[in-house]
Amino acid sequence: MQLTRELFRVIIFHNFRRGLSRQECIDELKSLYGDEAPSYSIVKNWFNEFNHGRRSLNDEFRESRPKAAVVPENIDAVRELIMLDRHVAYREIQPSLGISSTSIHSILH
């Protein structure tokens, strides 16, 4: 049975509340779960969070990764701009489509 990150957080929190040190917690996890146990840095980070008053074991909400600009709509738009003017520069495509030169490069190559 593979434990999830959330279940390991519960175990780490339980050990924190028991008064175990970080090292004692990681030693216990390693002895029980071997290679599946979280690393020392993960245990350390969660102990720090709990020491600062955190009680939630769920991931905090974060903004999602920006959507990729290399999508069919942008590919078609770049292709159309190039068909209109084969000498169009990246710096001219960027403002018209609102995508980075890196994305333009990916589309063209």
pLDDT digits (tens, 9 = 90+) for 12-21: 999 999 999 9
Asked if residue 65 belongs to a domain, the reply is: no
Claim to verify: residue 9 and residue 42 sit in the same structural domain: yes
Asked if residue 95 belongs to a domain, the reply is: yes
What average pLDDT score do residues 48-61 get? 87
Rounded to 5°, the CA angle 23-28-32 comes to 150
The model's pTM is: 0.56
Asked if residue 58 belongs to a domain, the reply is: no
Residue with the bigger pLDDT between 67 and 4: it is 4
Residue 40: count of CB within 10 angstroms of its CB: 15
Asked if residue 18 belongs to a domain, the reply is: yes
Residues 20, 48: Cα–Cα separation, whole Å: 13
| Per-residue model confidence (pLDDT) at position 9 | 94
What average pLDDT score do residues 36-47 get? 94
Q: Which domain holds residue 89?
A: 72-108
